[in-house]
Structure formats: C-alpha cells, structure tokens
Amino acid sequence: MKLILLGAPGAGKGTVAKMLTKIDGSVQISTGDILRGAVAAGTELGKKAECFMKAGDLVPDDLIMGIMEERLQEDDCKNGYLLDGFPRTIPQAEELKLLLARIGDELDFAVNIDVPRDVILDRLTTRRTCSDCGAIYNVKSNPPKVEGKCDKCGGPVVQRDDETEEAISNRLAVYNEKTAPLIGFYEKEGMLLTVTATSSDAVISAIQERLAS
Ligand code: AMP
C-alpha cells in the first residue's frame, strides 16, 4: 500500500504506520525520524534543521523535498510506503504530486487521523520515544518494561526535545495553520479517508476496509 498519513502531532501517525508495515511489508517513511537522525549524526541537513525542530517550527520545504525525492526512489519503496509526517504544507503536497508523476508512481489515498485536542495534548506530554530505534512509549498507558530503556533495542527512551509545553503548543498552531489545509487538498483530489478514532486498531480496520473496496 502507498498511503499518506495526515493528522495533528500526537494523532498516532507513527504508531499506525508501524502497525501497517507488518501487514504487507510497506516501509514507514517518517520525515521527523529522518531529520532527528540527521541532527543526532550532526550532518549538514541536521545542522540546518535543528533550530526549526527544537522550536516546533517546520523545516523549509526545499530541504524536505530534497530528502523525499531521494527516499521515494530507494528500492524498499517498491513494496509500498507509508508517508508519516509528509507532506506538511500545500507546496509540499503539490511538489509531491509532480514528483510522483515524474517517477511514475501513484498513491492509494491519504488518511486523516482525526483525534480530539484534549487527547492529543495528553498524549504528547506523556509520550516517550527511543532515540535509537524510534519506538514509541507512553508513561501512563505503555511504559517500557525497564524505565528509560527501550524494550526492542535497549536504547534510551526519552522525551523529545520538541515535547516541552511551549514547543507542543507551537507545533499544534503550526499544524492548524500549515498542515490542516491538506485535508481539503486531498478531499478535492478525491483521495481522502477521514477516520475519527482514538484507537490505532480502529484506524487500521478503516484503512483495510478502504483498500479492499
Ligand atoms: P514529527 O516527528 O513528524 O512530529 O516531526 C518533528 C519535527 O520535524 C517537526 O516539528 C518539524 O520541525 C520537522 N518536520 C518533520 N516533517 C516535516 C515536513 N514534512 N516538513 C517540514 N518540517 C518537518
């Protein structure tokens, strides 16, 4: 399957993407994970992206399109991919459309994961992430077995730099202003599936139903 996962920070895009990869071997492509990896490795890309990310602002579109143009042409994308956190702006969505036409690729649809704001806020403040493998935990509902240590790879499980109260409120404002308009964009393209659900299992079922129809 080839899907775009849309939704506010904390809507569960990453969790849903990880679950979908197990269904048919599609790969999760998270621009946030790619950028965090670049920051940790201290690459040129990481140096350019770091201050935007820390403040909860978006990284400039041209940097993101450069990453995605390469990533979408890697071999593992042939089995399908789940775009998690990309596109994030209307210009990115328009450029993605051109890029896909250029490389002869086509998406199935875009999924808008619609979760109430109070649930989002609670999730973002209690979310913890493995800084080595990106596994997602929650201090209340899904803590790692050993505090601070990833069950899957043993890496450090930490609060992301952009999950301070200030950065979270900026990320949500940026989402409303820059990313929420993508819902209308994909609706006009006739390729939007909106799922109003807080459970990832319900989101997965709705996706599978649409894929089968
Ligand atoms: P995420 O893990 O998807 O919440 O992304 C974390 C941060 O990475 C965002 O707050 C942005 O600073 C940056 N980022 C990730 N994806 C994009 C994108 N498609 N466009 C611009 N910035 C992005």
* Mean pLDDT value of segment 192-213: 95
Model pLDDT, residue 203 = 97
pLDDT surpasses 90 at 166: no
Q: Is 117 a catalytic residue?
A: no
Fold of 2-212: Rossmann fold (3.40.50)
Residue with the two structure tokens 């990320």:
171
Where would I find the beta strands (DSSP E) of 115-168? Answer: 127-130, 136-138, 157-158
* Mean pLDDT value of segment 119-127: 91
* Mean pLDDT value of segment 91-105: 97
Q: Is 71 a catalytic residue?
A: no
Contact 80, 26 (CB under 8 A): yes
Catalytic residue among 18, 54, 97, 160: 160
* Mean pLDDT value of segment 169-195: 97
Residue 198: which pLDDT band, with cuts at 50, 70 and 90? confident
- Strands across the sheet containing 27-30: 27-30, 81-84, 2-6, 109-114, 192-196
pLDDT surpasses 90 at 163: no
Residue 129: C-alpha distances to residues 51, 113, 211 (Å): 20, 20, 30
Q: What's the gap in Å between 158 CA and the centre of ligand 1?
A: 18
Q: What is the pLDDT of residues 147-157, one digit of tens each?
A: 999 999 999 99
Model pLDDT, residue 33 = 93
* Protein residue closest via CA to atom 6 of ligand 1: 32
Report which of 206, 209, 180 is spatially closest to residue 93, judged by C-alpha positions: 180
* Mean pLDDT value of segment 128-137: 93
The percentage of the chain sitting over the pLDDT mark of 70, rounded to a whole number, equals 100
Q: What's the gap in Å between 79 CA and the centre of ligand 1?
A: 24
* Nearest atom (ligand 1) to Cα of 58: 22
Model pLDDT, residue 165 = 83
* Mean pLDDT value of segment 112-129: 92
* Protein residue closest via CA to atom 5 of ligand 1: 32
Catalytic residue among 13, 36, 123, 128: 13
Contact 56, 162 (CB under 8 A): yes
Model pLDDT, residue 162 = 86
Backbone torsions φ then ψ of 168, nearest 5 degrees: -65, -45
Catalytic residue among 36, 88, 123, 128: 88
Q: Quote the CA–CA distance of 79 and 2 in Å, as a whole number.
A: 9
pLDDT surpasses 90 at 61: yes
Q: Is 160 a catalytic residue?
A: yes
Output the ligand 1 site: residues, CB below 6 A: 9, 31-32, 35, 52-53, 56-59, 64, 85-86, 88, 92, 162, 171
- Give the residue, 166 or 30, on which the prediction is more confident: 30
Q: What residues contact 37, with CB distance under 8 A and at least 6 apart? A: 46
Residue 74: which pLDDT band, with cuts at 50, 70 and 90? very high
Model pLDDT, residue 161 = 85
* Mean pLDDT value of segment 48-68: 95
Catalytic residue among 36, 123, 128, 171: 171
